[in-house]
Amino acid sequence: MNKTAEFRITLAQLNPTVGDVSGNAAKARAAREKARAEGADLVVLPELFITGYPPEDLVLKPAFQAACREAVEALARETGGGGPAVLIGTPWVEEGKLYNACALLDGGRIAALRFKANLPNYGVFDEKRLFARGPASGPVTVKGVRVGVPICEDIWLEESEEYENVVECLAETGAEILVVPNGSPYARDKNDLRLSIAVARVTESGLPLVYLNQVGGQDELVFDGASFALNADLSVAAQQPAFQEDIVTLVWRRDGSGWRCSGPVTPLLEGDRGDYAACVLGLRDYVRKNGFPGVLLGVSGGIDSALCAAIAVDALGAEQVRGIMLPFKYTAQVSLDDAARLTEALGIRYEVLPIADAVNGFEKILSVPFAGLPRDITEENLQARTRGTLLMAISNKTGAMVVTTGNKSEMSVGYATLYGDMNGGFNPIKDIYKTEVFRLSSLRNSWKPDFALGPSGEVIPPNIITRPPTAELRENQTDQDSLPPYDVLDGILERLVEREMPLAEIVAAGFDREVVARIDRLLNIAEYKRRQAAPGVKVTEKNFGRDRRYPITNRFRDSGKPLPKPDEALVSRAGRVSAEAFDG
């Protein structure tokens, strides 16, 4: 039996950049030096850390695979002079197959490899088309301690035909501690789910568990970190912060019942606070990792652009944010006043560029092809398209990225057009319903995340939050002149989009039948618009883009009638023998 009394594990909750192999290796190297200074035996990095996660089809390129292998080999050689071992996520090619692997680097060598056995293929994950399944393997040995290394999904699935019970295998083959490298993206209330999964694995195995997660934004995904450790008795051994890099060394001590740790426990950001922090981090990393010098956005005096401006300042600092008001004849004076107050409170550069000459110019050019046709929404939409064109022109000239400002409610029903809502580089509130936009705006006036770069206190004028939104979609009418109240709209959309409930069930929940049918129709016909929208932060389990994929050309419509019951009497059920005979 192992007699080691103390085992130090450094958890490197870090923010890699997809494709930056040398930069990610440098982060791993710096983490190892910190771990060495703290007397660690092992430093752990997240899943596929050397590539950044998720690498998607980039990981299929032989040149990229070779670069990752070269970087891991270099890190392995550096362990030859002593110091902590390194457990790092990397792609690995073995006998012509590509694996999602973890490499143990120790003693100047790649001392062990473990391959991910259970490959997720749902939601945002698409690993079955990229990687081969690895076998369930036993633990690796580090400084005399047997460490089990299930990789992310290897602890997430319940027993089934396709599921390889990696944790059971590790427990049966002598693992003493489970160390789980993860690439688990943020979604609201996901911390409870992660904890329940970890508790189930600890209960089944009787082993303490370390859950290390990546942090940072990658395109539409945000990884919140929030890494933790559980003792074998299910007590929380440590909790790292969410939405920021953090390196901590946990001291595990062995007693008669096994290994136990008591480390720092940091409170997590939950609910609306978690969503706001995700929006800030997602925008920050999209801008910085893609090399933009700053951002600009159309400031309308409305709540969507106000919230986006606050998020941008918290993400990047006021000096990197530029607000532009683009008024037309329907723009109310209160909108101009509120936009000015907002930009002053945030401390950002602000300009007012009237668009009447441009809109009138377009209408003059179109007077011949439009001759004899009545005015309609076409002319009204010229306002939005003019604004988008001007914002993109300033972006092209300065290099600053346009922040788009369409919320999930209005994007769902095709109403996101104003002030570049659908034009630009990135949308921090793309997955935020309008009712939450109001909540987040009020929240930001009373609180800001520790890592936010904007000012404290009231940054969004209360008048913007309390007054009815003016949308200019119908020449100075409000959104709700043509849509139901936002609490009703969002209640219907949440059931249609997140839960995909039949219309009959939504009506049975208390919503008006005609309103439900109308919102369902608008949701369906706006699919082509959403396909053209900028990427944006994902905070729900069903965002538009990576999770919810519907055809643009689609004639199916829910009739709203109760669902018919299947007629099982029409179906012949083959017995096992006859089925096998049919299969040959």
Alpha-carbon span 46 to 44, nearest angstrom: 7
For the chain, the maximum distance between any two Cα atoms, rounded to a whole number of angstroms, is: 92
Look up tokens 């608008």; give the residue: 522
Alpha-carbon span 36 to 471, nearest angstrom: 57
Sheet holding 109-115, edge to edge: 109-115, 97-106, 85-94, 42-44, 6-13, 246-255, 258-261
Alpha-carbon span 533 to 169, nearest angstrom: 46
- The phi and psi torsions of 524 (rounded to 5 degrees) equal -70, -45
Is 152 considered catalytic here? yes
Is residue 444 within 8 Å of 276, Cβ to Cβ? yes
Alpha-carbon span 531 to 273, nearest angstrom: 28
- Virtual torsion, Cα 447, 453, 458, 463, nearest 10 deg: -110
Catalytic residue, from 68, 102, 152, 261: name it: 152
Look up tokens 């706001």; give the residue: 276
- The phi and psi torsions of 358 (rounded to 5 degrees) equal -70, -45
- Virtual torsion, Cα 200, 201, 205, 210, nearest 10 deg: -130
Alpha-carbon span 417 to 304, nearest angstrom: 12
Is 102 considered catalytic here? no
Helix (H, G, I), strand (E, B) or coil at 39: coil
* Bridge partners for 288 per DSSP: none
Catalytic residue, from 116, 408, 430, 529: name it: 116
- Strand blocks (E) in 68-220: 85-94, 97-106, 109-115, 140-142, 145-148, 177-182, 209-213, 215-218
Is 561 considered catalytic here? no
Catalytic residue, from 47, 176, 220, 494: name it: 47
| DSSP letters spanning 311-330 | HHHHHH-GGGEEEEE---TT
Residues with active-site annotation: 47, 116, 152
